[in-house]
Structure 1
Amino acid sequence: MAATLHEMVREAARLHSGRTAVMFDSGSDSDSGGSSVTYEELLSSGNELTACLRKHGVVNSHILGLFCQPNINLPQWILGILQLPSAYLPLNPEASPAQTLRIVNLCNLSFCLVQCDLLQQFQANYSSSLTLEISAEWPEQNLALVRMQSMISSTTEKALLKTGCEQVQTGHKNESHSSASETTSQMRLAYVLHTSGTTGLPKIVKVPHQCIVPNIQHLRFLFQITPSDTVFLASPLTFDPSVVEMFLALSAGAQLLIVHTVIKRMPSRLARVLFNFHRTTVLQATPTLLRRFGRHVLQEVVLSPDSSLRVLALGGEVCPSPAILRSWRQEGNHTLIFNLYGTTEVSCWATYHRIPESVLTSDHTTTDSVPLGAPLDGTEVEVRDKKGCLVTEGEGQLFIGGRERVCLLDGEVTVTPGMMRASGDWVLVKDGQLYYLGRKDRLVKRHGQQVHLDTVQQVVESLAEVETCAVDLCEGSRLVAFIVPYLGTTASRNIHHRDQASEHADLRGDSVLLPMNRKIQRRLSHVLSSNCIPDTVLLVPSLPLTTHGKVAMNELKMEYERQRQNTGIQQENLTLDNLQEILAKLWKETLGLAEDVRIQPDSHFLLSGGDSLQALRFHQNINIATGTNSAGLLEVILDGSYSDIWNHITMATIFTEAGLDPQVPSKRKHEGSSSSVLPKKQIHAPPSTTAPETLVEGVLHFNSMLMGYVVRRAGEIIKLGYSDNTVCSDNLKAEQATRSKSFQVEGHKTTEDFNSNPSSTVSERTISKTRSTFTIKRGLSLRVLWSSDTGRCVDASPVLLVEHGSSHTATVFVGSHSHRMQALELTSGAVRWERVLGDRLESSAAISVCGKLVVVGCYDGQVYFLRVDSGETWWTFKTGDAVKSCPTVDYVTGLIIIGSHDGHIYALDSLAKKCMWKQNGLGGAIFSSPCLHPPLQLLYAATLHGRLLCLNSVSGVPIWTYSRDVPFFSSPQCSNSCVFIGSVDGSINGFNHKGAMLWQFATSGPVFSSPCVTSSNPRVVCGSHDGCVYCLNCTDGSLVWKFQTTGKVFSTPFVFESPRGQGTLVALASTDGTVWVLNAEDGTVCASASLSGELFSSPVVWEHMLVIGCRNDYVYCLDLNSKEDSFRL
């Protein structure tokens, strides 16, 4: 069996001397059929060149440069060099002279064969750096032999070579498996190439015959190459697949087809040349090169039923998914498709996989990826993890080698047989198969999560609107998808028109292309996780290629930068009018909304379907579009309304234009702020109760503590005035259920009459609901006792104070976006008092340990301490930003603990009127409410920067911290052994009190709801933006039951004992305005009500009364009774 490339050709020439060996097609109309040479002519011309080279002193062991374009004489030139014997080093005439000079110097090149047509170019490029002497010219060969000598000093040259050698030998020691080694003189080199240099300086790779010959022989067997085949030379000489293409044909007596370089850049013309004129049967190409044909040509010509193409071998890039391959084939096509994988460092291919016909014809494949397949003859592959250990299942880096499959890199002069080279490619080992994940440098961390850029690219390409695409990071972190639209779309026709009309067309500003951008991003949001969705979709007419047929990513990044500069020009012409248009456009683009969607001023980004990663994308796009980088914008996006964002960026832009430092506060500024817009509801109340800064003189009698209960969201019931002030157990909840007759419903402020519909029924998991109706089941019903108009939306959750004693009074305290704090009688809804505070109230209130003060946080940054009996101000404490966190009361120390958007947690002593301690939350505003575990003196708090903190509740000293890359809006809740919290990444999490995660339960949407913990049977109930409420086992996080509501669940469930003897119940609200009461054991519906507004407030229940705030400006009290009715609001 032949041991060298040229011996294989000589053997084929002996058997097929009269057959055509090489066909060259220039693409010229006058060159009908092209020119050709037979095997006999090829061998003769090769022998002549060998003799000429020897005559002029080119002897064994030299490396010869070859500076040429593909043409009819190319194979004979390579054959002549190999027969010396010497190795050829292809030099690309289109490469930069500096890159070529580096290669020439690193290889100590003394001679170069130059195509006569290119001799003048060669001299012009290199005569200033190299001493050039034309030793001979052979017109019949169209070649000149040029002797070269570097003008770089020998010391510098040796340093270059030594550096390269040392670098490789260092790695060589780590990768060796044998002490034996071979020198360059023992290895007969066939050719010398260099890597692309995409991850650094290009590496020189010297390839012995013994490394490449087994590759060609095995592939020739796999492809069943015969003398009747025509193999296309698709790859440039500087790309080692060209060696396989050339010698696959010439070692089998087949025909090698070469076309002019210009024709390769004309996809339609190339398709005609390959398949209409020359009936090509074997095509080896990169997927990018193949995609240049377009889906229509691929289906109708390349992979049609009557296509001449017998074998299609894809390599050099990640293989397209089976779905994409199917979209390229027309039914009835029988082309065999192979996936080839390899690296230049172990030239050429390492593995192969023939894609089964069943995969190419079935729509029900189990994988989106094509395996790398089995090793080729003489090749060994293994997968190692980051520690160098072998991986048999899971992810790791692929290593390639073999006893004789070894090349010399850079300055290496010795090599260890069997050396395994690191490929730089990450793969997944699954069920004995290898699946390509991407280059090591294409596996990036984005928003703290690993992203496979090549996998993202495959998903984008799977969209029907996409012809082909490339995905990469620009400016370090922005994920950009460069997309060529499918030829059949309006966007594709438009983009090609724009490309022809203007070299500098703004592709993002086109009225046809923008909807396509949004459509693609909307589609991607359904198939990609948030961290993988591109920040920018840039439509381009085509993907530029490198000389190796791969995507020229640098050119695409230059196009992206040009678009950015165009955006910068637009920034100079910003006005408030077009700023509003820009913000609306970015909002819709980021959320994937239709162009005609109307954005409501109070729309919340996260509640409109966004998530934290989309918020980051929105934040970046606003900064790019406006040319500003205002502090606090991200927090406003995460926690504010659309109008808040508009106000924020307007202020930032105005300050920037004025040349001032945009000191825009990060707290929300609303249309209803006290300085700009009057509250909707006009209050008629005594001045003493409406003055926001009235301070009460004197002291309260703290030694006479109020006796009773405090009822707060999440099922929290606290006993007041007893020696053991604690959060009540389920036994106490049962006790309050048995005393349902303690409060008789008196006349109410607003009584609603409802129409009965006894025939309405509710299924176990769904409710038949029309607008403004609610239906009840299983002996329970809900009807409105009263409602109170607060003047604006009520997002705060009510808190109830139930007093014991002769009066048996119960009061509802609740704040509103109208700046009002109301104290209402629980039984009637009558207003006890009402206060207008300094800004909006979203924080739920708390009752001090003495029962004499109600405490609430405000958007003006103040924490207000108001008297329970009159609403008068006892004390205010100023934080550094808005307070949306709900206060927590330590009933042991009496401290009020609260978080602020200034990023701090405060412990306040209301009696002494001072801050006892203040702790930084380690970055990020604090939206959620702190949670106490008194027995262990632990305090839990969570931040919008994704940190869950555990502090000592007495001193505020941090004990442990858990970090995540997404914000926490959910408030932590404790049981005796665990702490629970929801996350906007869609999970509900359980930790022990030492900070170890015990379990994580995944929902299908962000979790803003806070958990509610039951103690009788250890369960946690929590809602999700996927519309479900989940009941989980506290111990292991396993699902007990889940219930699908008719909206999203933002608020916190409330677990309580039924006053009508129906056992333990769960009250909750969905954002579509529905209040639900479920059986806590199995999640079945017991009752429901539909209010005429969105619900973000959490319900609280005392005996048979459920109180909740609504975005229609009202606070409602619903009566839970045992009549079975259907009501209408």
Structure 2
Amino acid sequence: MFIDPTQNVESIAKEVCFNTILIIQNKGSNPPELFNKKPDKLVSLFDLEISFFDLQCYFTSKHAIFEHSFIAMTSGSTGEPKHIQVPMKCIQPNIDDLTKLFKIIPEDIIYFSTPLTFDPSMVEMLLACMNGASLLIAPEKPEVLFPSDKENSITFWQTTPSKFFQHSNADIKNKILSPDSTLKILALGGEPFNGVRRLRELKHWNNQTRVFTLYGVTEMSCWACVAEIDLNTTVVDKEIPLGSCLSETQVVIEPEGNDQNKDTGKIILVSKTRKCIILNKSNNNEEDNSLKFVDTGDYGETKNGTIYYRGRKDDVVKRFGHKINLQFIESTAMQCPKVKTCSCVWLPKPLLLVLYFSSETFSSQELSDFLKCKLDDKHWPDKIVRVDNLPTNSHGKTSKMILSKMYKKVSYATKTLDSLKVIFLKELCLLLSTQVTFDEIMNKDFFSIGGTSFLAISLCNKISVTYPDFGKFILPYLMSQRNTIDEIMQIAHRELCVEGAKAKNRMKRTISNTESNSDSQIIKKVNSYERTNPVEFIVLWTYDTGKCVDASPVLFQTGFNLYVIVGSHSGKIVVADAISGELQGIIRVKARVEASVLCYNEDLSTACGVVGAYDGTIVCFTIETCKEIWRININSMIKSKGACCNGLLYIASYDGKVRCIDILVRRLNIFFNPVPRQYLTLGVALTRFSILSRSSCYEGRHRITYISLLIY
């Protein structure tokens, strides 16, 4: 096992139970010591000095297997680092398969690019040894790897995408993937492949390099799958498959929990022979794990028998109640060819979404504009930071741990009215991707300048990172729509700066004049100067539907009664009194309800509610008595709210059709197919003579469909 000198060698030695440790130093260095013990033997070699420590009497491992093997350590990017003993019979199938697939011959020059602490380094060494090829150990500089003398140029290069894409566009285009490049195989693995679009643009059409992506985990070292990327047909990163399984390895997609979608789930590696041993201890108990089944911690999706990588568990975070996939943001950013590498980090304490990227010509603002054209506002990063190169860990992967530490809070500045305006305007322009002056927006409320409730929360959250009081204070004012921007700034300045300063002075005088008072009296006086928020929320009542509620609750008044109606993933449609919270009744369906309930009482003797469910069920019920009037099933998923006109219900579904149903007699009159093979996901807005619907497809484009109706 190779250990980084910066790590705690004694701690790792205790966990792994080494028999022998070698420490290599330059001559003249201070003699090393381990466990208060001097080296058992010293050997000088050139300008190096090798110290041997015999530790057989110190440790005995219960789980180590006594056969030819090496020890690899996980990077610890997703948990505590593990020390894995890898027998040669576990990695041997990799060497045999890759030799045939990559057609390694004695004339090949394999570049030894992977750090010794990362287990793919063994693949590079063994490929060279088993095939009589040359192993080049040299700095990772294109002019060294691809000299003018082609006989000494490399032919095989295995590396991580992060390290490869740190090279400049000029080096990749003119040297690495040039028409006369000697590189036969470029194998990228160890982390998600983001950057296929950049690779397509930089690879010369006459270049003969074959590009592969590798997938595997250290717990079943080294690789499990391999796929060759056809840059002529592969356009975006999500089209890159996991690939074919290598010998003695299987990949299984295991759905999570009660998820009915069997095509997505956790990626599990299975092998009867490729067994590794975890040597380090957990909770003072050594792990006894033969690792026949390895939970990779990754998510995959199966399409037409092909498995695609869809991110890690910890790539999905909740941001203001919305699930955000960090890898989706990264892959979208990499669609811009000017972006070399990028990494998205979620900082839970300040609740910030930060995107780091490296580029030769692209600015943070330009990337922000690009992402806002591609992503919805829930995925917009709070901060976009340009760096020369993304930091990597000892394995050559992008280190999100280092990136998280890179973000530092800006020091507090003295807040004046002008400074508050500047702070607000700066963040507002970044958020809305617009350039306005304060005079242009001062007499408007937040929503009239393009704001939404989500953007208000996002804006105030970004401001709160450096100015917590200011960000928290203005949020309810922005949401209320009762004040102009200038009025909000004036109120904030008065409450935070003027009154705040007065309160501090009063508090100082109070404390100095009443030193004999008890702590409780001082606290009461301090609290008397605390400001109150302009909006106060009081919980009147609650009701548990059993599962999560995605649909917006509907308030509906009939007569003197006001009702709340909402559906849930539990299949319950709940009707409750809005004032008292008293349950009026429950309508049940067999699938989850994500659409809002349509309430209608025109031309009817009693008000009724209509809603569609996930399995295509449409149910109509009375609101006051909660009795079912009718239900039908259209055999297509419904996630949008319907619309009603002249007793006719219009509802959209995921088969791309808008159906017209007579509410009184439950008769399906007609249906329209305005957008074939696309999904109608949003609600139908109905006027007296027309339907306006919006459809969306997987490519992220949107189409507005206008259907004219003749109402008799």
TM-score (norm 1): 0.48
Stretch moving more, 129-138 or 548-557: 129-138
CA contact (8 A) 1:320 1:370 kept: no
1:275 aligns with 2:116: no
Pick one of 394, 398, 412 that aligns with 1:551.
398
Distance 1:637 1:1050 in 2: 27
1:396-407 aligned within 5 A: 396-407=265-276
CA contact (8 A) 2:277 2:290 kept: no
1:343-382 aligned within 5 A: 343-356=217-230, 360-362=231-233, 365=235, 368-382=238-252
Distance 1:101 1:995 in 2: 72
Pick one of 364, 373, 376 that aligns with 1:526.
373
CA contact (8 A) 1:234 1:283 kept: yes
1:650 aligns with 2:493: yes
- Give how far 1:192 is off: 0.7
Give deviations 1:312-352, integer Å, cap 9, x for gaps. 00000101253232133123222100010000000000000
1:241-256 aligned within 5 A: 241-256=120-135
- Give how far 1:522 is off: 2.5
- Give how far 1:222 is off: 0.6
Distance 1:952 1:395 in 2: 40
Distance 1:1039 1:616 in 2: 40
CA contact (8 A) 1:351 1:373 kept: yes
Distance 1:580 1:211 in 2: 63
Stretch moving more, 472-481 or 130-139: 130-139
With over 3 angstroms needed to count, the CA separation of the structure-2 counterparts of 1:547 and 1:418, relative to structure 1, is closer
1:57-456 aligned within 5 A: 89-93=1-5, 95-96=6-7, 98=8, 100-117=9-26, 120=29, 123=32, 126-127=33-34, 129-139=35-45, 142=48, 144-149=50-55, 184-185=65-66, 188-259=67-138, 263-264=139-140, 270-276=141-147, 278-356=152-230, 360-362=231-233, 365=235, 368-387=238-257, 393-410=262-279, 419-456=292-329
> Who wins on radius of gyration, i.e. which is larger?
1
Give deviations 1:600-628, integer Å, cap 9, x for gaps. 33545445444443332112012224331
- Give how far 1:208 is off: 0.4
SS at match of 1:538: strand
CA contact (8 A) 1:530 1:614 kept: yes
CA contact (8 A) 1:1012 1:1054 kept: no
SS at match of 2:475: helix
- Give how far 1:428 is off: 1.3
SS at match of 1:101: helix
Distance 1:995 1:195 in 2: 59
Distance 2:342 2:496 in 1: 35
Distance 1:591 1:990 in 2: 41
Distance 1:553 1:1067 in 2: 48
The corresponding residue for 2:348 is: 475
The corresponding residue for 1:45 is: none
1:562-601 aligned within 5 A: 564=409, 567=410, 569=411, 571-594=412-435, 599-601=440-442
With over 3 angstroms needed to count, the CA separation of the structure-2 counterparts of 1:449 and 1:340, relative to structure 1, is same
Distance 2:446 2:673 in 1: 30
Give deviations 1:166-203, integer Å, cap 9, x for gaps. xxxxxxxxxxxxxxxxx824xx2320111112233211
Distance 2:170 2:669 in 1: 51
CA contact (8 A) 1:383 1:392 kept: no
- Give how far 1:652 is off: 4.7
Pick one of 554, 563, 585 that aligns with 1:939.
563
With over 3 angstroms needed to count, the CA separation of the structure-2 counterparts of 1:590 and 1:369, relative to structure 1, is same
SS at match of 1:664: coil
- Give how far 1:249 is off: 1.5
Structure 1, unmatched stretches of 5+, are 1-88, 166-182, 265-269, 492-515, 667-879, 881-901, 905-917, 943-947, 963-967, 982-988, 1004-1009, 1022-1029, 1044-1048, 1056-1064, 1069-1079, 1086-1129
The corresponding residue for 1:619 is: 460
Instruction: Give the AA of the match of 1:521.
Output: S
CA contact (8 A) 1:424 1:439 kept: yes
Structure 2, unmatched stretches of 5+, are 505-528, 545-551, 567-572, 588-593, 602-606, 613-617, 653-657, 676-681, 693-705
CA contact (8 A) 1:399 1:422 kept: yes
- Give how far 1:241 is off: 0.6
CA contact (8 A) 2:89 2:274 kept: yes
SS at match of 2:469: coil
Distance 2:157 2:670 in 1: 54
Distance 2:200 2:215 in 1: 20
Distance 1:587 1:420 in 2: 50
CA contact (8 A) 1:305 1:334 kept: yes
SS at match of 1:345: helix
Distance 1:608 1:954 in 2: 34
Distance 2:474 2:347 in 1: 22
With over 3 angstroms needed to count, the CA separation of the structure-2 counterparts of 1:1012 and 1:228, relative to structure 1, is closer
Instruction: Give the AA of the match of 2:306.
Output: Q
- Give how far 1:582 is off: 1.6
CA contact (8 A) 2:416 2:493 kept: no
Give deviations 1:650-679, integer Å, cap 9, x for gaps. 34532445545232313xxxxxxxxxxxxx
The corresponding residue for 1:85 is: none
Distance 2:669 2:120 in 1: 53
With over 3 angstroms needed to count, the CA separation of the structure-2 counterparts of 1:388 and 1:275, relative to structure 1, is farther
Q: How many residues are matched?
A: 612
- Give how far 1:461 is off: 1.6
CA contact (8 A) 1:424 1:440 kept: yes
| % identical equivalent positions | 23
With over 3 angstroms needed to count, the CA separation of the structure-2 counterparts of 1:115 and 1:451, relative to structure 1, is same
Distance 1:1012 1:403 in 2: 57
CA contact (8 A) 1:322 1:369 kept: no
CA contact (8 A) 2:213 2:228 kept: yes
Give deviations 1:259-306, integer Å, cap 9, x for gaps. 2xxx34xxxxx1111111631110000000001112221112111111
Distance 2:303 2:637 in 1: 25
Distance 1:118 1:369 in 2: 52
Distance 1:234 1:612 in 2: 49
Instruction: Give the AA of the match of 1:428.
Output: E
With over 3 angstroms needed to count, the CA separation of the structure-2 counterparts of 1:950 and 1:649, relative to structure 1, is farther
Distance 2:380 2:321 in 1: 14
SS at match of 1:1018: strand
Distance 1:991 1:615 in 2: 37
- Give how far 1:380 is off: 1.6
- Give how far 1:149 is off: 4.7
Distance 2:620 2:530 in 1: 43
Instruction: Give the AA of the match of 1:112.
Output: I
SS at match of 1:235: coil
Instruction: Give the AA of the match of 1:623.
Output: S
Pick one of 639, 643, 649 that aligns with 1:1018.
649
Distance 2:116 2:82 in 1: 16
Root-mean-square deviation (CA, aligned residues, Å) is: 4.5
Higher relative contact order structure (alpha carbons within 8 Å, sequence separation ≥ 6): 1
